[in-house]
Each structure stands twice: as structure tokens, then as C-alpha cells.
A and B are shown apart, each in its own frame.
Chain A
């Protein structure tokens, strides 16, 4: 069964450094998402992406964040200058259509020291 994959599974970085989290969505899906989950807290929406552009973003998704689909298969989340409070589990998700169930990847645990 096709699944969403994410790399790396765990990323440790120093405050102020740039990180890129990578995702490979399911191949025939059209909508792509990033969510994050701080330890012990809710899963929070960051951004949705459709037709090569951002369709919606949350207040969390400020100028430090960007997304890209560089080659038609990968979907990346970049954090330009990481802060301690960016430490969280980051989940990528995809769906064939906007109102369908979302398929989540296994997540990347980001630790900012």
C-alpha cells in the first residue's frame, strides 16, 4: 500500500541554523500539508499546498518557514533560522482531493538546542 515517507526521522540542530525537512507524498495525490506536534500537545496545521502554491497557512507559518515541491515528487519544509520553540514532531500529509482523508507520514522529530 502506498505511503507518505519523511526524512530524516530525527534532526538535531543548533538555534539559528536552517533545516530542511523532506517528504515524499503518495504519487497520485494533489494536496500536500505540513503539521507539527509539540510534545504532549495537539497536532497543529502549518500549511497546505496545491497546484504548486500555498493554498492556506496558519499564524505559525511565518516568514521563517517556506515550502517547495522542487521536482514533482518531493515536498519540503524549510525553517530558515530555527528557534528553541520549533522543537516538535513535523508531519507531512497528502490527499487526492481537499475533502478526503489525509495520509500522514511517520514524522520528523526536530530538536533545536
Chain B
């Protein structure tokens, strides 16, 4: 089965610094990797999607990279703010293009 793993330890970071989160997957590379934000008691909110033929994608202060050799995606939040505090989920799209398989998420806490 296709697995997707994220660092389960919370990431504590000072405001203004860059947070870097890791997502590792097994077996074949997914055609798409997606990153979502989840606040406590709320549904995931889509942030970024990266295709396997893309090395990097950016959106405002967010950057995602995709390394099919390492079977890894990195998610960066630059100039972090306390409002960025949340759990960030990595998800791979299934081969049939239907379901998302989520990692366990990494909780980020940005301290002022």
C-alpha cells in the first residue's frame, strides 16, 4: 500500500523564521502531492499542489518542493507569523485520481 509519512513531532519556531516540514512517501511517485492546513476541529484547507514533473511551487510565503529521487516533498513557510500556527497535512492523490491519502500531519507553533 502507498504510505505517506510526516514528522509527528511539533515544530516550534520563532516569528519571522522559516519553517520547513518534510513529507516522505513509499513506492511509486504520486502524480500529485498536495498540502493542506488544518486548524483544531476544522476541515483541511487546500494550500498547494505540486506535480511530479515540477521541482518547486510557490504561493505567497509558501514554497513546496518535490524530489522523486528522495521520494520526498518539503514545505516551507517563510517569514512565519503566529497566524501560521496549525497542523499541516501532506497528501498524495491515488492512481485513479480519486482519493487522497493523508500523512499524519505536522503541528507548527509560531511564537511571537
Contact = CB atoms under 8 A, between A and B. Distances in A.
Interface in A30-45: 31, 33, 35, 41-45
Nearest to A98: B97
A102 interface: yes
Contacts, number: 62
B43 A106 contact: yes
Nearest to A57: B99
Chain A contact residues, majority secondary structure: strand
Nearest to B97: A98
Give the contact-size bracket for chain B. Answer: 20 to 34
B99 A45 contact: yes
Nearest to B51: A99
A103 interface: yes
Give the contact-size bracket for chain A. Answer: 20 to 34
Contacts of A89: 41
B46 A42 contact: no
A55 B46 contact: no
Given A101-B46, A101-B49, A102-B46, A107 B98 contact: no
Interface of A: 4, 31, 33, 35, 41-45, 48, 50, 55-56, 58, 89, 91, 93, 98-107, 109
Interface of B: 31-32, 34, 36, 38, 41-46, 49, 89, 91, 93-94, 96-105
